[in-house]
Amino acid sequence: GNRIMPALCRAITRRLPPLLRTRPVIAHVRWFSSSKHKHNNYALVLNAGSSSIKYGLFDIKTDGKDGTELCSGIVDSLGSENAKLKHKDVTGGKEVIHEMSIPDHATGLKKVVEILTERDGAIQDLNDIKVVGHRVAHGGNMFSGPTVIDDQVIQAIEKCSTLAPLHNPANLIGIRIAKELFPAPHVAVFDTAFHTTMPPESYRYAIPKELYEEHGIRRYGFHGTSYTFVLGATASVLKRPIEDLNVIMLHLGSGASMCCVKNGKGIDTTMGMTPLEGLVMATRCGDVDPGIYTHLCTQLNMSPAEVDRMLNRRSGLLGLCGQNDMRSIISAASKGDQDAKLARQIFVERIRKYLGAYLVKLNGELDAIVFTGGIGENDFALRESICDGLRSLGIELDTTKNLSGLSLCEVQGTFSRTKILVIPTNEELSIALQSADVAGIVSKLSGAEKLAQAQTEWQVPEQAQSEQDPAAPKLGNALFVEGTGMTAVEEVGLLYAVLPRAPRVGYFRPFAEGENDRSISLMRSIFRLDDSPEVMQGITVAEATKLLSHGQEKELFDQILSKYVEYRKGKDFVLVSCGRLENDSHFWSQKMAAALNLPVLLISDVGHESDLAIIKGGLESSNVKIAGVLMSGLPPGNEYAETANECKEAIEQLGLRSVGMLPKSAIIHQVTMAEVVDALGAKVFFGEESLDRSIVKDITVATLDMNRMLHRLRVHPGTLVIVHSGRADVLLSLVLAARSSNYPRPAGILLTGSRNLDPDVDDILCGLNGIAMPVIGVEEDTFACTTTLLKHRPVLLPSSTTKIEAAQVLFQKHIDPKFLNQLVATNADDYVVTPKLFQHNIFSAARTDKQRIVLPEGDDPRVLAAAGELLARNLCEVTILGKEDLIQNKAKRNHVSLKGAKIVDPETETTEEMVDALYNARKSKGMTKELARDMLQGEPNWFGTMMMYLDQADGMVSGACHSTAATMRPALQVIKMAPGFSLVSSVFFMLLPGRVLVFGDCAINVDPTADELAEIAVASAHTARAFGILPRVAMLSYATGDSNQGPMIDKVREATKKARLLAPNELIEGPIQFDAAVDPAVAAVKYKGQDSPVAGKATVLVFPDLNAGNNAYKAVQQASKSIAVGPIMQGLRKPVNDLSRGCTIDDIVNTVVVTCLQSKASKELAKK
């Protein structure tokens, strides 16, 4: 029995049917659980109030690894006949409530002792408690840290009672009674102690000196136990000594305060002599004019006690909007409650005011802003509002990280000088560890640092080292996934995580659903696999069932094995996802893993830990190697760290390895209109481009009159409206409402009973010049559709870009990089960039070093939509040219958020510096200052170009409504060439099946000379490298090597020599024919006996003239049905790229991302 691990016991208990969860079973589990605490280093934490006693029991480990909460509770309503003792067994999950008469603190504490020491209680002997820690509200200026309690300490606490008359006397009652009951040392931990390092200029009030000297009236500050804990955790996260840190901590909950820390010491805080001063709180007013007190007493005849009650209990958020719970306030504000909106704004602005003041106190030298407390840890929108617009102060929030929902995380942007951390506080554990430290029963590692270590264990750095660990055993280039939590999200995330190490990935299902297997279709689409569904599956479920029914198991496995062996040829990595036979749990998948001789990754949902032991036994009996366990579905927020540690403990007790802990993602678990279309097989009438972005938060059937319907939709934004196709009134009304910037847009409209619109209604809607809201239709009736949707669960579709990105982020943050490094290593010489990897790489690179891109065409809705997407995906900094009011109105009409964009009006914001710069650059060509001003104010491409010229922007993308000449001329005349270049050329990225090639020049230079061709080759190599493609440059001609002569071949031969001189470190070959450049088999024949690093594996192909290049890229594009990205201009000092007039939003986004990487490459080239 003692060999059964406690964490797994708890998991098994959770899985028992309710009727089996009886007291004997719980007691049995607790009996096992108590065995792990046999060293009995317990710390009891007490917080005695005027009418309550809160308590918590912690197991403090002598090896310095932390403390574990065993149980907690509260004795409430002391002195009444209906007092309650609520006790929770944290390890066993049991909670009991006793109602009884508890006349005083002494009786209450004795009841606590009884419940702690009962037969199945947490302890059996009071001597097991090694220390009792007491929370004491006020220590005045006498206590700067936790202190062992003796008679002198008790007298000092009594003296401080005048400063905290509601708290200190009650704390003393608890101390005196506890000292009689518990023989252990008793320690006082003061809420004010942390702030005793404040200098006089921070703690003195500007009132008569004698009030301070004789009565101690000064600022003391509170939340000290929380700040002690969080500062230690911050030091652990940042891996720096506490004494080196400058930090601003925000403890935001129903009680809220801030603290400024310089060199590890508190130098200021927002609360004062009492907790009433400072920030707006749930029911406390925070800072107010003291004259209000006099006014209320003299003018409104309020007594001092009434004023005190009002300011402490009826003010703050409650006074502003009638609610004191921030969650309720958020809900009310979202429904249009103006008081709730104002309350939230005031809450934020008070915080920002103190944030600015503390930045000044630190002279701008700030290491971290730390959010803690219930609101600080969980209100991501509040954090964003607090940090909004502070980029110039070195504070920049990353919106994607901020939405991660992790309990402990960094949420700052790439270029933020200041770290922005979210760290959950644990004041009770802080008191326990501080008390244990003073009593000498733990090591000298601080409790905060210990907890931070535990919580950061699965916070993998974003830029994880990719080098192979030579000591780690290699798992091979294929992995079998199995378990209870296996979903498409985990499989997609895993393949993306492997992709940088293995660009040629594959996906194989031994048992599949045939050509329409959803998992295979999903992976083919997301990763652009050119394999047919037939080769990606071993056998259909129907065929497998038939073979097994005839006893043909050997034939079944032979067929699957032969298909798998053939499929994995040419793959760097293959993920094998077994699928399920009918009525099969894990039997056949385990046999299949053994047959394929593959290591298995077990994927399990939280709550199914007990199943792991069963699966492990089956795999080990088949001699299958288990690579590790990936847990998914962990609760985000405060519960994440505790749940992750529990799961990890259970996994390790089974002798297995934890490779990741994935929290539940709100983004992944939402339903989009694209999923509705997929689930119903619906026809899309309008809004197809927004299907994946339209989130279904609610469903309603339109049976009400329109007034009531519109009101309901205002209260419930994001609702899918289901209505019969004959209700034209509802359809037209909702389409009109959705076009209003003053009305929340529904998620979409589902028309039932027909897949066709009424012709008249169709004519009206088609004449509205674009309907962004999805409108879809089905033949089925309303009841059938509603029933189907109510049963629908979120799924992953190929179009679910937001969910796919969320899956990538989860794996980047929570997968163990050592595990990934064990899977596969790719030889650099054989490294091939696939189309999917190319796109993945450029978007990731753009995020890691954001560039400043100017978009001159602010009047184009496509440009605005692209700008919104660039900002939302955190890809670059965006400047849009045009009139701000017109741009914002157009964005609002199209439901585009431009938050974070810089909008500049050339007509009003053309500066003399810009005019002078253009004049000086072009005065030799006849430019005047008047003409320069006219061009800057009237031609946005000139304004954008001059922003780059003056280093106000890194790149420009235009051409959606301008000609190529209008886009490129300003750059050619002012930006000019990069060092070492004398001409502008272009390339196309050809996203071919299985690889990406660079074609140049296919758009600019008609008949380049040998010198120009050499320069194009070198520029194209630089461009390829900037985009993660190892350049192997082939100088193309109609003959290879010395096999022929002629003017064209001679030019290419001369250009090759000159290119090698220009870039001696580049791999350049020529003249060479196209087939010899890209086909290893042809190269082996034409370069027989020669060792060419380019032949057969060229990645950059340089054509001899525009006629050859332009025709070649179009022929390859059409013949292979591949994507051609370009033309990408190269050779300019700063990048400018031209859009086609028919460009889509995706085209603009892709071009901007390409421009970002060109900018980075240009900067690197300039440094060299």
Using only C-alpha atoms, the chain has a radius of gyration, in whole angstroms, of 34
Closest Cα to residue 915, out of 945, 939, 941, 936? Answer: 936
List, in sequence order, every beta strand (DSSP E) within 753-817. 775-777
Residue the block writes with tokens 């585009």 = 896
Rounded Cα–Cα distance for residues 885 and 227 (Å): 44
Task: Supply 897's token pair.
Answer: 């958020």
Whether the bond into 146 is cis, omega within 30 of 0: no
Contacts of 1121 (CB under 8 A, 6+ apart): none
H or E stretch at 30: helix 23-35
CA-to-CA dists, residue 1111 to 213, 834, 988, 1048, angstroms? 90, 23, 12, 17
Q: Which of the following is catalytic: 66, 191, 379, 1001?
A: 191
Residue 689 backbone zone (phi > 0: left; psi -120 to 50: alpha; other: beta): alpha
CA-to-CA dists, residue 232 to 200, 725, 819, angstroms? 25, 62, 30
Task: Supply 868's token pair.
Answer: 């919104």
- Do residues 38 and 49 lie in contact, with contact meaning Cβ atoms separated by under 8 Å? no
Rounded Cα–Cα distance for residues 606 and 626 (Å): 19
Provide long-range contacts, Cβ within 8 A and 24+ apart, for 836-841: 836/499, 836/526, 836/527, 836/528, 837/499, 837/500, 837/503, 837/1028, 838/989, 838/991, 838/996, 838/1027, 838/1028, 838/1029, 839/991, 840/496, 840/499, 840/500, 841/500, 841/1027, 841/1028
Note the residue count of the chain. Answer: 1168
Task: Supply 69's token pair.
Answer: 């909460």
Rounded Cα–Cα distance for residues 1037 and 1070 (Å): 8
Residue the block writes with tokens 């189907």 = 788
- Do residues 77 and 51 lie in contact, with contact meaning Cβ atoms separated by under 8 Å? yes
**Number of neighbours of residue 101 by Cβ within 10 angstroms:** 10
Task: Examine the residue annotation and report whether 191 is marked as an active-site residue of this protein.
Answer: yes
Angle at 401 between CA 741 and CA 382, to 5 degrees: 55
Task: Supply 542's token pair.
Answer: 């129907």
- Do residues 329 and 343 lie in contact, with contact meaning Cβ atoms separated by under 8 Å? yes
Query: What does the DSSP 8-state code read for residue 1042?
Result: T
Residue the block writes with tokens 């003061």 = 190
- Do residues 681 and 494 lie in contact, with contact meaning Cβ atoms separated by under 8 Å? no
Q: At what angle do helices 224-238 and 427-439 cross, to 10 degrees?
A: 90
Provide long-range contacts, Cβ within 8 A and 24+ apart, for 905-914: 905/881, 906/881, 906/936, 906/937, 906/938, 906/940, 906/943, 907/883, 907/937, 910/936, 910/937, 910/943, 913/950, 914/943, 914/946, 914/947, 914/950
Question: Is residue 1139 classed as helix, strand or coil in its secondary structure?
Answer: coil
Task: Supply 121's token pair.
Answer: 């209680």
Rounded Cα–Cα distance for residues 466 and 841 (Å): 15
Rounded Cα–Cα distance for residues 522 and 469 (Å): 32
Closest Cα to residue 492, out of 801, 906, 273? Answer: 801
Q: How many CA atoms lie within 13 A of 1127 on its CB side?
A: 23
Please name the amino acid found at residue 621.
S
Contacts of 316 (CB under 8 A, 6+ apart): 280, 281, 282, 283, 284, 285, 286, 324
Residues annotated as part of the active site: 191
